[in-house]
Amino acid sequence: MNNYSEKFEKMRVAGRVASKTLDMITDHIKPGITTEKIDNMCYEFIKDNGGHSAPLFYRGYKKSVCTSLNHVICHGIPSDRTLEEGDILNIDVTAIVNDYYGDTSRMFAVGEISVKAKNLINSTYESMMNAIKILKPGSKLGDIGYEIQSYVEEKGFSVVRDFCGHGISNTFHEPPNVLHYGKKNTGQELKPGMTFTIEPMINAGKYESKLLKDGWTAVTKDKSLSAQYEHTLGITENGYEIFTESVKGYTKPPYN
Ligand code: MF3
Ligand code: CO
Ligand code: CO
| pLDDT band at residue 215 under the 50/70/90 scheme | very high
| pLDDT band at residue 256 under the 50/70/90 scheme | confident
d(C-alpha 256, C-alpha 250), whole Å = 9
> Quick one: CA torsion of 50, 66, 209, 195, rounded to 10 degrees?
10
Structure confidence at residue 97 (pLDDT): 99
Over range 93-112, report the average pLDDT.
Answer: 99
Compute the mean pLDDT over every residue in the chain, rounded to the nearest whole number: 98
C-beta 55 within 6 A of ligand 1: yes
Over range 8-31, report the average pLDDT.
Answer: 98
> What confidence tens digit (pLDDT) does each residue in 127-170 have?
999 999 999 999 999 999 999 999 999 999 999 999 999 999 99
Measured in angstroms, how far is the CA atom of residue 94 from the centroid of ligand 2?
8
Structure confidence at residue 207 (pLDDT): 99
**What 3-state DSSP class applies to 141?**
helix
Q: What are the CA-CA distances from residue 227 to residues 90, 176, 239 (Å)?
A: 7, 23, 27
d(C-alpha 203, C-alpha 68), whole Å = 13
Share above pLDDT 90 across residues of the chain, in percent, rounded to a whole number: 99
Sign of CA dihedral 207, 62, 92, 190: positive
C-beta 58 within 6 A of ligand 1: yes
| pLDDT band at residue 105 under the 50/70/90 scheme | very high
Helix axes of 141-154 and 115-133: crossing angle, nearest 10 degrees: 150
Measured in angstroms, how far is the CA atom of residue 107 from the centroid of ligand 2?
15
Contact in structure between 167 and 176 (CB atoms under 8 Å): yes
Q: What are the CA-CA distances from residue 111 to residues 35, 115, 174 (Å)?
A: 16, 13, 37
Quick check: 1 pLDDT over 90?
no
Quick check: 26 pLDDT over 90?
yes
